[in-house]
Amino acid sequence: MLHDDVVDNAPLRRGKASANTIFGNEAAVLVGDYLFAKSFKVLSDINNIKVIKSYSDATTLMAEGEVKELVKTADIKTGEKDYLDIIIKKTAVLFACASEVGAIIAGKEEKCAKKLYDYGLNIGIAFQLMDDALDYISDKEFGKFIGNDLKEGKLTLPLIHAIERANKDEKEVITDIIYKKRLTSKDLKTVLSLVKSYGSIDYTISKAKDAIKKAKKNLDIFPDSKYKNSLIDIADYIIDRKL
Amino acid sequence: MLHDDVVDNAPLRRGKASANTIFGNEAAVLVGDYLFAKSFKVLSDINNIKVIKSYSDATTLMAEGEVKELVKTADIKTGEKDYLDIIIKKTAVLFACASEVGAIIAGKEEKCAKKLYDYGLNIGIAFQLMDDALDYISDKEFGKFIGNDLKEGKLTLPLIHAIERANKDEKEVITDIIYKKRLTSKDLKTVLSLVKSYGSIDYTISKAKDAIKKAKKNLDIFPDSKYKNSLIDIADYIIDRKL
């Protein structure tokens, strides 16, 4: 998150001034490095190389996803497949790793670890889809504004879906707005109404719901328990959250 | 190195444009994260948790050292003890880890690993001492200029040693220069002549030589071999290098 806010030049994190705003980029980069290194130190105390492998696989993919997202900034040709690849890497693999590690530490068989990995991956995909949908819906909450991603040139599914359906003129309008350095509230309204006219926010939410269905299905092999119920509740919360 | 150059705002790396100059801070931070995560992934394939512990210990300390160096920037009260703590953490533990891991992978007893760790630590200390001495000596080489550290407000041993011996007036002059945003060539000359007048460069080099002596002593328990000779050559090269 520290590095994320440096990369995004984000002034806010959950509605409060971000670390880079208060302490500068230098400190935010270094303290991010410290926490990253420290996390491996803490994990290595578990004395289980499988945990390290899961975590290092996840963090490598996350950085790959972040780089791909940066490369695709303001790229009007970004398709749904690119988008899915980016959100799986930058977000979902972290959820997957966190879920899988539970099974690894508990010494459960590989099949359980795999199912929990997939459960995490699917709720992670849903989480990012909802986050990107909310960015086109929600108001000033958790440091988010309507069109925050758009302002940063980030093409997320609501916009990608609309662009793929837009006619030539509409595409040109969107392209011009994406290339602009500063967006006016008129620009935001133009894009928002196009996104709404193609049902692209609803499409994004429906994709999130699909992923949550898959996530719950991944839990089928586990016997009923309050722990399993909690995992189901977490999955449902991802769709229900409004912030 | 990628994060280092972002933190230092360094335009050059070994005389060539640094990654942050060419690709921007965002890419440099993210690709740095990628390489860091990937290094743990590669290491975990060795299937030896001791290697991971050594590397995560080292990288945690390195980040700690970098943060401490940042906090101590332009702090005239930085003493030799602070300086040693910083260079041990930010530089020497990496050399120590790299040496120690050789013994760990070879399955050698703990005593050997410890001696190689200390060997690496000592050559690392010497390396940084020489680097900081050369910054007050060398010309445009490897992207370094005379007084590069001084320009960045980095107090290294040559300057710390001089400040500890300077009279009240001299201390004031140095303090004023350290606080300045842009140093003139006159400023650089003033500090350099003070550093030279107190023999502070020679003092720094003598400290490096002490560390190299200790490093060679750490190798005493190993039988003679061409490999041991190589380690001795590396130690000697650290003092002999001119770049």
Cβ of residue B152 closer than 8 Å to a chain A Cβ: no
Instruction: Tell me which residue in A26, A41, A47 faces B7 most closely, judged by beta carbons.
Output: A26
Structure tokens at B99: 């040496």
On the question of pLDDT at A228 being above 70, the answer is yes
d(CA B140, CA A156): 47
d(CA A41, CA A48): 12
Which residue of chain B has the CA closest to A59?
Answer: B37
Instruction: Tell me which residue in B43, B59, B70 faces A37 most closely, judged by beta carbons.
Output: B59
d(CA A40, CA B169): 49
A-B CB pairs within 8 A amount to 118
d(CA A146, CA A132): 10
Q: How far is A90 from chain B (nearest CA, A)?
A: 11
What is the pTM for the complete model shown? 0.85
**Best mutation target, B5, B29, B31, to test chain A (most A CBs within 10 A):** B29
Q: Report pLDDT for B12.
A: 76
Residue A94, by phi and psi: left (phi above 0), alpha (psi -120 to 50) or beta?
Answer: alpha
On the question of pLDDT at B100 being above 70, the answer is yes
Cβ of residue B175 closer than 8 Å to a chain A Cβ: no
Under the banding of pLDDT at 50, 70 and 90, the label for residue A143 is: very low
Mean pLDDT of B55-72: 95
CA distance readout (Å), A44 to A14, A53, A95, B144? 30, 10, 19, 38
B:58-77 residues touching chain A, CB 8 A cutoff: 59-60, 62-64, 66-67, 70
Instruction: Tell me which residue in A3, A34, A63 faces B63 most closely, judged by beta carbons.
Output: A34
d(CA B162, CA A16): 44
Q: What interface predicted TM-score (ipTM) does this complex get?
A: 0.83
Q: Report pLDDT for B1.
A: 74
Contacts of B70 in chain A (CB under 8 A): 26-27, 30
d(CA A20, CA B234): 40
A222 burial class (0-12, 13-18, 19+ CB within 10 angstroms)? middle
Q: Which domains does chain B have, with CATH numbers?
A: 1-45 (no CATH), 46-240 (1.10.600.10)
Residue B14, by phi and psi: left (phi above 0), alpha (psi -120 to 50) or beta?
Answer: left
pLDDT one-digit tens code per residue, A103-115: 999 999 999 999 9
Mean pLDDT of B98-110: 96
Contacts of B31 in chain A (CB under 8 A): 63, 67
Cβ of residue A1 closer than 8 Å to a chain B Cβ: no
CA proximity to B75, closest of B62, B60, B86: B86
Q: Which is more confidently placed, B13 or B107?
A: B107
- Residue with structure tokens 């707005």? A177
Question: Under an 8 A CB cutoff, do B60 and A31 touch?
Answer: no
Contacts of B25 in chain A (CB under 8 A): 6-7, 25
pLDDT one-digit tens code per residue, A81-131: 999 999 999 999 999 999 999 999 999 999 999 999 999 999 999 999 999
The full 3-state SS of chain B, as one line of letters, equals CHHHHHHHCCCEECCEECHHHHHHHHHHHHHHHHHHHHHHHHHHCCCCHHHHHHHHHHHHHHHHHHHHHHHCCCCCCCCHHHHHHHHHHHHHHHHHHHHHHHHHHCCCCHHHHHHHHHHHHHHHHHHHHHHHHHCCCCCCECCECCCHHHHCCCCCHHHHHHHHHCCHHHHHHHHHHHHCCCCCHHHHHHHHHHHHHCCHHHHHHHHHHHHHHHHHHCCCCCCCCHHHHHHHHHHHHHHHCCC
pLDDT one-digit tens code per residue, B201-216: 999 999 999 999 999 9
d(CA B81, CA A151): 48
pLDDT one-digit tens code per residue, B86-98: 999 999 999 999 9
Q: Report pLDDT for A139.
A: 63
Q: What is the DSSP letter of A166?
A: -
pLDDT one-digit tens code per residue, A203-217: 999 999 999 999 999
Question: Under an 8 A CB cutoff, do A6 and B29 touch?
Answer: yes
Contacts of B41 in chain A (CB under 8 A): 53, 56-57, 60
Contacts of A54 in chain B (CB under 8 A): none
Cβ of residue A6 closer than 8 Å to a chain B Cβ: yes
Q: How far is A32 from chain B (nearest CA, A)?
A: 9
In chain A, helix, strand, coil percent, each to 5? Answer: 75, 0, 25
Contact B225, B124 (CB under 8 A): no
pLDDT one-digit tens code per residue, B134-185: 999 866 555 444 788 999 899 999 999 999 999 999 999 999 999 988 899 8
On the question of pLDDT at A178 being above 80, the answer is yes
A192 CA to centre of own chain: 21
Instruction: Tell me which residue in B36, B52, B67 faces A30 most closely, judged by beta carbons.
Output: B67
Which residue of chain A has the CA closest to B8?
Answer: A26
Where are the strands (E) in chain A, listed by range? 12-13, 16-17
Instruction: Tell me which residue in B3, B33, B44 faces A63 most closely, judged by beta carbons.
Output: B33
pLDDT one-digit tens code per residue, A26-63: 889 999 999 999 999 999 999 999 999 999 999 999 99
